[in-house]
Structures are given as structure tokens and as C-alpha cells.
């Protein structure tokens, strides 16, 4: 424990019944001794893992608050260092005062994610599990929370470890074979080697296939609401969000910029975008809106195309339908204003590969069916989204792709019956690359960057 001692408020800001200050590092117990006065006895012998009740005192030994001190001894703590937690009243002023007091007593402010970073550096968790912690805190839907919990428990690390174990076995086989006279692998060994490599390669590919689903859990399905002005796009966004977020007016073209909201449908996170529409715009501001709509439609994963069921299709509607026919994204056609006299027919949307639903954004009818359809469509695209073993980071996907390349090289070399040295190099390459996902072989800059994305106090 050469590191200095850090402290930070571990609970959420704002008023709460209890707030917790966490202090971690070699001097954590010394800090506690200076600022905490137990009701009984003194802190001469701090008993770890026991709650001590007492007062948190100012430098002039006045009382800041009363509360509970919970000491934990290295290595049996979250960070793997000596840790004390001070539970006091959860007001933001009092927490701030206690925090300042820990700094006076020798701790320094913890950076974002620094506790978890120390846990990682002290070998308490690997990188994927540390990221699971962050994801659980940030989870916006039940499904994402479940996946984050699994990741935190090691679902992805175990998958990776199993693949690496296989690779190590293959490397050992080759090394045993190098002692053979002609530097050739006996037939039986070659077959076993092929099996190891194939199994590892297909496990890596399986993880890569799941990567998009993992990303969706983290970032949400990019869902774009399109349609000509006044069909009820903003009303639909508001109805799905449950509050008035977008401006609803009778004036076409009111949503000039894109409004984005995050919602959760049956546990699936969605990034919902209300767009400006696609019509030829007159003024410059509106033109920007239209250009953005175009861009958003191009990278949408789900498109909610809204039409006004109470009026005939316009030129703009026909243009949109033509576009929908060519699009790859999952699409749902919504005939809004079903509370009014109905003019549109399902046949109007022939040739578009999408379900057609009747809704009223204003009256709130048809929205449950819409939610069910959205959930079904997303699951059709991505399969089961609640798997904590899915890679979901740029970094992880990139490493898996590199590992996959190494393994297909190894497969090729083996098939061509070329030198085993080359196979061995590729297998080691794959082994190290996979190790980077767990944080075994990454440099400190990257580690710093990853943990700086954590929240303060974790
Ligand atoms: P946008 O331009 O596509 O975003 O459309 P808005 O959401 O701003 O709505 C345009 C107009 O249609 C407003 O006057 C809304 O009150 C009205 N509207 C929206 N949804 C419905 C609906 O389901 N039924 C009826 N009757 N009117 C609606
Ligand atoms: Zn609008």
C-alpha cells in the first residue's frame, strides 16, 4: 500500500436520510482516529468490521455530526486497501463538511472511479467486472441492470478465461511437439490442435455476434420518429415518455431540431428521437433540421413512421413510403389520430416491410400494442438482450476482432501444414489480445481513461 489515502462522498448528492463518506488507503484508520470520537472508549484499537457509534468532530473538536464508523482492513475491502466508511446524516452541507474534514486529516479528494480503479489495480476485480459495476450504477432499464450484474459477477471474464485456457492448451501441445525429430506434429496431436483452435475461434465469433446486443443494452436502440409535419410525431414522443417534452402545435414544422429522450420499453432501453420531418424547407434553420433528420434516418435501428389516418396521403407521405421501402432498419408504421374519421387503408403501405398499427397519440390508444411490437421487433433483431457475457465496448469488440484474425491465420497455417512456429505466434497473439479485455495487458493511460468515466465516489 504505497498509494496515498483518498476520500469522497459515496452516496448520491442531495438530501437523504444517510450519506456515506468513504476513505481508502494506508492512512484511512489514522484519518478516522483524528475526526471520529466514539461514545464509548477511544479508537486506540479500531475493531475492523464492527460499527462504531460516535461523533464526527471539527478541528476545534466541535461536533459536525454524529454517525457510524465502519472500518475494513486490507485486503478485505472493496478497494483491497484499508477502508473506513463514515455514515452520517445525508444532507449535502453536512456531507461536504465531513468530507473536508477527511481532507484536513490527511486524505485527498478521490478522482472519478478511483476507488474502483484501486480495486482493479489491487486485483480485486478484472476490467470487465469493474465496468459491470459502472454499468449497474448507470443502468436505465431492468434488462440493462441484469446484464450489468452478470458482467459484474464475471460472466464475460469467465467466457474469455475459458477461451484463453483452450489457447494455452493448444500452445502447450505445439511446444511439446517441437521436440519431435522432424519438427512435425503427430497426426493425433494435429487433430486435437485443430479442435482447440476451431473451438476458440468459434467462441470468439459468438462473442462478436453478441456485441451489438450488448451495445444496445448500454446505449439504447436508436429509434427515430419520422413523418411529415403535423401528423403527431411530437405528440407520440410525449405519450411514450409520459411527460410534455416536445412542443406540440398546429403549425407544421415546429420541431425544428431533434429532440431526444431515453425511455425503457419492457426493459429495453430506447433512445427516442423526434425529428423535424423531411419536407423541402424554406428557411435555413428548418433546412438544418431536415438534414439532421436525413442523417438520423440513415443510422436509425428502429424507425417509427407516423401518418395521419384522418387525411389522404400527401406527396410528402408518398416520398416517405418510397424511402421506407428501401430502408434496412426495422420499421413500424403508425396511423395516428385513429380517434378521427379514418381515411387511410393498410393497402396504402404495400411494399413496406413493416407492421401497420392504428394509434392515437392524443387519446393514448394503441400505445400498449405499439410497446409490445417494439419489444418484439428489437428482440427479433438482437436475440436475448439480458446476457451479461455480451461484449459492449468499442475496446472489447476491437480486441475480439484482432483475436479472431489471429485465430483464422492459425487455422490457415494449420490447414496448409506450414510451420508450427507461426501457429504458435498467432495463438499467443490471440491469447494476449483477449487478456487485454480483462485488463491484464493494457497500458496505464488506457486504464486511467476507462476509470475516469466512472462517477465520482465510486
Ligand atoms: P408533429 O408536427 O408531427 O410533431 O405533430 P404534433 O405532435 O405537433 O401534432 C400536430 C397536431 O395534431 C396537434 O394539434 C396535435 O394536438 C394533433 N394530434 C396529435 N396526435 C393526435 C391524435 O391522436 N388525435 C388527434 N385528433 N389529434 C392529434
Ligand atoms: Zn413535432
pLDDT value at residue 425: 93
Q: Which fold has domain 129-210+391-452?
A: 1.20.120
CA of 306 to the centre of ligand 1 (A): 11
Residue 12 or residue 374, greater confidence: 374
Q: Please determine, for residue 455, whether its predicted confidence score (pLDDT) is greater than 90.
A: no
Ligand located closest to 250 CA: 1
Q: Residues 103-141: pLDDT tens digits?
A: 999 999 999 999 999 999 999 999 999 999 988 988 878
Q: Please determine, for residue 181, whether its predicted confidence score (pLDDT) is greater than 60.
A: no
pLDDT value at residue 1: 44
Q: Cα separation of 324 and 3, whole Å?
A: 58
Q: Cα separation of 147 and 127, whole Å?
A: 16
Average pLDDT over residues 237-261: 71
pLDDT value at residue 8: 96
Average pLDDT over residues 136-154: 87
Average pLDDT over residues 378-384: 73
In the three-class reduction of DSSP (H, G, I as helix; E, B as strand; rest coil), residue 345 is classed as coil
Ligand 1 pocket by Cβ (under 6 Å) = 227, 229-235, 248-250, 254-255, 336-337, 339-340, 360-363
The neighbourhood of ligand 2, an ion, using CB within 5 A, equals 233-234, 255
Average pLDDT over residues 5-26: 92
388: confidence class by pLDDT, cuts 50, 70, 90? confident
CA of 230 to the centre of ligand 1 (A): 6
Query: Is residue 64 packed enough to be buried (19+ CB in 10 Å), middle (13-18) or exposed (0-12)?
Result: middle
What residues have CB less than 8 Å from 68, skipping those under 6 apart?
51, 52, 53, 54, 86, 87
Atom of ligand 1 nearest to the CA of 360: 23
CA of 348 to the centre of ligand 2 (A): 23
pLDDT value at residue 416: 86
Strand 63-72 versus strand 52-57 pairing type: antiparallel
At how many degrees (to 10) do helices 420-438 and 394-415 cross? 170
CA of 367 to the centre of ligand 1 (A): 15
Ligand located closest to 259 CA: 2
Reported pTM: 0.68
pLDDT value at residue 282: 65
Q: Cα separation of 58 and 48, whole Å?
A: 24
Q: From the annotation, which residues make up the binding site?
A: 22, 85, 124, 230-235, 249-255, 274-277, 458
Q: From the annotation, which residues make up the binding site for (6S)-5-formyl-5,6,7,8-tetrahydrofolate?
A: 22, 85, 124, 458
Query: Is residue 91 packed enough to be buried (19+ CB in 10 Å), middle (13-18) or exposed (0-12)?
Result: middle
Atom of ligand 1 nearest to the CA of 248: 8
Q: Please determine, for residue 431, whether its predicted confidence score (pLDDT) is greater than 60.
A: yes
Torsion of CA 442, 445, 448, 449, to 10 degrees: -100
Distance of CA 101 to the CA centre of its chain: 35
Average pLDDT over residues 226-232: 93
Domain boundaries, the chain: 6-110, 129-210+391-452, 222-382
Average pLDDT over residues 202-230: 88
Q: Please determine, for residue 163, whether its predicted confidence score (pLDDT) is greater than 60.
A: yes
Q: From the annotation, which residues make up the binding site for GTP?
A: 230-235, 249-255, 274-277
Q: Please determine, for residue 70, whether its predicted confidence score (pLDDT) is greater than 80.
A: yes
- Asked which of 108-112, 214-218, 438-442 is least confident by mean pLDDT, the reply is 214-218
Q: Please determine, for residue 201, whether its predicted confidence score (pLDDT) is greater than 60.
A: yes
Average pLDDT over residues 353-370: 95
pLDDT value at residue 361: 96
3-state secondary structure 263-274: EEECCEEEEEEE
pLDDT value at residue 71: 97
Average pLDDT over residues 38-47: 79
Contact assessment for residue 86 and residue 69, using Cβ atoms and an 8 Å cutoff: yes
pLDDT value at residue 219: 83
pLDDT value at residue 254: 54
CA of 276 to the centre of ligand 2 (A): 7
pLDDT value at residue 160: 95
| ipTM score for this prediction | 0.98
3-state secondary structure 423-446: HHHHHHHHHHHHHHHHCCCCCHHH
Q: Please determine, for residue 442, whether its predicted confidence score (pLDDT) is greater than 90.
A: no
Chosen CATH of 222-382 out of 3.40.50.300, 3.30.70.20, 3.40.50.720, 3.90.79.10? 3.40.50.300
In terms of phi and psi (left: phi > 0; alpha: psi -120 to 50; beta: otherwise), the region of 267 is left
Q: Please determine, for residue 374, whether its predicted confidence score (pLDDT) is greater than 70.
A: yes
CA of 79 to the centre of ligand 2 (A): 49
33: confidence class by pLDDT, cuts 50, 70, 90? very high
Which residues are registered as beta bridge partners of 88? 19
Closest CA to 20 of 114, 83, 107: 83
Q: What is the CATH number assigned to the segment(s) 6-110?
A: 3.30.1360.120
DSSP assignment letter at 45: S
pLDDT value at residue 179: 58
Average pLDDT over residues 333-359: 92
Amino acid at each position: 500500500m504505497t498509494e496515498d489515502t483518498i476520500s469522497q462522498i459515496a452516496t448520491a448528492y442531495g438530501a437523504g436520510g444517510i450519506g456515506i463518506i468513504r476513505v481508502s488507503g494506508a492512512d484511512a484508520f489514522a484519518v478516522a482516529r483524528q475526526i471520529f470520537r466514539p461514545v464509548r472508549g477511544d479508537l486506540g484499537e479500531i475493531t475492523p468490521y464492527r460499527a462504531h457509534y460516535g461523533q464526527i468532530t471539527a478541528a476545534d473538536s466541535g461536533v459536525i455530526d454524529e454517525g457510524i464508523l465502519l472500518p475494513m482492513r486490507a485486503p478485505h475491502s472493496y478497494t483491497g486497501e484499508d477502508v473506513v466508511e463514515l455514515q452520517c446524516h445525508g444532507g449535502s452541507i453536512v456531507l461536504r463538511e465531513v468530507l473536508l474534514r477527511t481532507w484536513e486529516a490527511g486524505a485527498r479528494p478521490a478522482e472519478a472511479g478511483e476507488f474502483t480503479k484501486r480495486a482493479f489495480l489491487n486485483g480485486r476485480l478484472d476490467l470487465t467486472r469493474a465496468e459491470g459495476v459502472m454499468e449497474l450504477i448507470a443502468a436505465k432499464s431492468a434488462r440493462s441492470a441484469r446484464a450489468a450484474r452478470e458482467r459484474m459477477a464475471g460472466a464475460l471474464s469467465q467466457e474469455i478465461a475459458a477461451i484463453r485456457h483452450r489457447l494455452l492448451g493448444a500452445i502447450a501441445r505445439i511446444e511439446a511437439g517441437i521436440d519431435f525429430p522432424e519438427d512435425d506434429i503427430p497426426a493425433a496431436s494435429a487433430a486435437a490442435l485443430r479442435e482447440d483452435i476451431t473451438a476458440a475461434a468459434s467462441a470468439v465469433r459468438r462473442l462478436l455476434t453478441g456485441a451489438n446486443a450488448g451495445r444496445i443494452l448500454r446505449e439504447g436502440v436508436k429509434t427515430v420518429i419520422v413523418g411529415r409535419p403535423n401528423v403527431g410525431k411530437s405528440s407520440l414522443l410525449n405519450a411514450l415518455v409520459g411527460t410534455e417534452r416536445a412542443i406540440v402545435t398546429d403549425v407544421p414544422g415546429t420541431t425544428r431540431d431533434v429532440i431526444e429522450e431515453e425511455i425503457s420499453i419492457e426493459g429495453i432501453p430506447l433512445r427516442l428521437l423526434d425529428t423535424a420531418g423531411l419536407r423541402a424547407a424554406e428557411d435555413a434553420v428548418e433546412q438544418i433540421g431536415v438534414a439532421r433528420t436525413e442523417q438520423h434516418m440513415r443510422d436509425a435501428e428502429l424507425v417509427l413512421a407516423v401518418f395521419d389516418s384522418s387525411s389522404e396521403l400527401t406527396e410528402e407521405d408518398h416520398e416517405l413510403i418510397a424511402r421506407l421501402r428501401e430502408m434496412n432498419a426495422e420499421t413500424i408504421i403508425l396511423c395516428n389520430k385513429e380517434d378521427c374519421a379514418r381515411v387511410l387503408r393498410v393497402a396504402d403501405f404495400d411494399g413496406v416491410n413493416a407492421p401497420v398499427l392504428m394509434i392515437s397519440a392524443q387519446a393514448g390508444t394503441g400505445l400498449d400494442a405499439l410497446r409490445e411490437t417494439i419489444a418484439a421487433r428489437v428482440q427479433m433483431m438482437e436475440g436475448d438482450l439480458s446476457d451479461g457475457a455480451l461484449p459492449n465496448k468499442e475496446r472489447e469488440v476491437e480486441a475480439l476482432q484482432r483475436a479472431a484474425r489471429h485465430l483464422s491465420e492459425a487455422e490457415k497455417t494449420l490447414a496448409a501444414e506450414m510451420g508450427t512456429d507461426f501457429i504458435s505466434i498467432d495463438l499467443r497473439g490471440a491469447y494476449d489480445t483477449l487478456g487485454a479485455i480483462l485488463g491484464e495487458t493494457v497500458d496505464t493511460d488506457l486504464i486511467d481513461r476507462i476509470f475516469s468515466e466512472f462517477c465520482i465516489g465510486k
